[in-house]
Amino acid sequence: MAFPFSPDSTGSMDHEMAKLQLAHHLADKTSRTRPKSRVPPPRYSDVYPGSLSKIVAVCLPEKPPSTLWDVSITVDGKIASIDAHDPDAARQQNSADVLDGANRLLAPSLCHSHIHLDKCFLLQDPKYSDLQIENGDFQEAMDITGKAKARFEEDDLLRRGRQLIEESIHHGVTHMRAFVEVDGVVQLKCLDAGLQLKEEFEDRCEIQICVFAQLPLFSGADGGEEVRKLMTVAATEEGVGVLGATPYVEQDVTKAKMNVRWISSLALAQEKFLDLHLDYFLEEDKQPLIWSVLDIVKDRNWVERKGKRITLGHCTRLTRFDDGEWSRLKQCVDNLPVSFVGLPTSDLFMMRTAENVRGTLPMVEMIRNYGLDTSIAVNNVGNAFTPYGSCDPLSLATLGVGIYQAGAKKDAEILYESVSSRAKAAIGCESTSLSLLVGEPADFVLFNRVDVGWRCRKSIVEVVYDAGLSSRQTIRRGRVTAF
The predicted model gives 181-205 an average pLDDT of 96
Which has the higher per-residue pLDDT, 354 or 98? 98
Asked if the model's pLDDT at residue 18 lies above 80, the reply is no
| Strands across the sheet containing 79-84 | 79-84, 69-73, 54-59, 98-108, 444-447, 472-476, 479-482
Contacts of residue 454, defined as CB under 8 A and 6 or more positions apart, other chains included, come to: none
Which has the higher per-residue pLDDT, 368 or 44? 368
Model pLDDT for residues 464-473, shown as the tens digit of each residue: 998 775 688 9
Model pLDDT for residues 369-427, shown as the tens digit of each residue: 999 999 999 999 999 999 998 999 999 999 999 999 998 999 999 999 999 999 999 99
* pLDDT the model gives residue 470: 62
Residues in the chain: 483
* pLDDT the model gives residue 40: 62
The predicted model gives 275-301 an average pLDDT of 94
Q: What is the CATH number of domain 48-109+433-482?
A: 2.30.40.10
Least confident of 158-167, 207-216, 411-420, 448-457: 448-457
Q: How many CB atoms lie within 10 A of CB 451?
A: 9
What is the average pLDDT score of the chain?
88
Q: How many CB atoms lie within 10 A of CB 229?
A: 18
Asked if the model's pLDDT at residue 12 lies above 50, the reply is no
* pLDDT the model gives residue 88: 78
* pLDDT the model gives residue 36: 47
Contact 110, 174 (CB under 8 A): yes
Model pLDDT for residues 325-334, shown as the tens digit of each residue: 999 999 999 9
CA distance 227 to 231: 6
Model pLDDT for residues 339-375, shown as the tens digit of each residue: 999 999 999 998 887 788 889 999 999 999 999 999 9
Helix (H/G/I), strand (E/B), else coil: 435: coil
Least confident of 11-15, 162-166, 349-353, 409-413: 11-15
**23-41 per-residue burial string, b: 16 or more CB within 10 A, e: under 16:** eebeeeeeeeeeeeeeeee
Contacts of residue 129, defined as CB under 8 A and 6 or more positions apart, other chains included, come to: none
**Pure H helices in 243-333:** 253-269, 290-299, 323-333
The model's pTM is: 0.89
Contact 70, 99 (CB under 8 A): no
Least confident of 109-113, 118-122, 137-141, 362-366: 137-141
Region at 458 (left for phi over 0; alpha for psi -120 to 50; beta for the rest): alpha
Helix (H/G/I), strand (E/B), else coil: 234: helix
CA distance 227 to 212: 10
Contact 419, 111 (CB under 8 A): yes
Contact 235, 203 (CB under 8 A): no
Nearest to 105 by CA among 433, 444, 389, 479: 444
Asked if the model's pLDDT at residue 38 lies above 80, the reply is no
**How do beta strands 310-314 and 273-278 pair?**
parallel
The predicted model gives 259-286 an average pLDDT of 94
379 secondary structure, DSSP code: B
CATH 3.20.20.140 fits 110-426, yes or no: yes
Domain coordinates of the chain in residue numbers? Answer: 48-109+433-482, 110-426
* pLDDT the model gives residue 17: 41
CA distance 89 to 7: 68
* pLDDT the model gives residue 27: 46
Asked if the model's pLDDT at residue 448 lies above 80, the reply is no
Share of the chain above pLDDT 70, in %: 87
The predicted model gives 67-71 an average pLDDT of 95
* pLDDT the model gives residue 308: 85
Asked if the model's pLDDT at residue 175 lies above 60, the reply is yes
Amino acid (1-letter code) at residue 251: Q
The predicted model gives 1-5 an average pLDDT of 33
Contact 190, 234 (CB under 8 A): no
pLDDT bin (cut points 50, 70, 90) of residue 54 is very high
* pLDDT the model gives residue 42: 59
Asked if the model's pLDDT at residue 2 lies above 50, the reply is no
* pLDDT the model gives residue 409: 93
Amino acid (1-letter code) at residue 103: N
Element (H, E) at 214: none
